[in-house]
Amino acid sequence: MTKKRTYRDPKIVEDNDIPLSEAKALSTHPAVLAAINAVATERRPALTIWKSPTGTECDHIVMALEEYIYLGDFEATADNCYAWDADEIRL
């Protein structure tokens, strides 16, 4: 069975995305940044979501992160924790 994407490929970079190269400076795992970028819109750019996500955005970020790990876009961490500035996502 072919694995299918629900969220945009993390290699695709669009206007108002946060470059994954900024992950270290933002103390955020690159896969989390990719997931934030995937749910960002023109009205709610990635940096706005990174700073103050809505509950629905958080749900979609977690789902996108899970998909990226499942599809092998990013390796799973040993403890399944993914930094998001002072917070983290635990899968």
> Measuring CA to CA, how many Å separate 83 from each of 1, 6, 15, 21, 32?
32, 22, 24, 15, 8
Q: 76: which 2 tokens?
A: 């799973």
- The answer to the question of residue 8 being in a domain is no
- The answer to the question of residue 7 being in a domain is no
For 40, residues 6+ apart whose C-beta sits below 8 A from its C-beta are: 14, 16, 17, 46, 48, 49
Instruction: Indicate the pTM of the whole model.
Output: 0.95
pLDDT tens-digit series, residues 2-13: 778 999 999 999
Range of the domain at 70: 23-90
Contact 27, 86 (CB under 8 A): yes
- The answer to the question of residue 3 being in a domain is no
* Domain count along the chain: 1
- The answer to the question of residue 61 being in a domain is yes
- The answer to the question of residue 10 being in a domain is no
Residue 56 phi/psi, 5-degree rounding, is -65, -40
pLDDT tens-digit series, residues 29-87: 999 999 999 999 999 999 999 999 999 999 999 999 999 999 999 999 999 999 999 99
Could you count the other beta carbons within 10 Å of the beta carbon of residue 22? 14
- The answer to the question of residue 77 being in a domain is yes
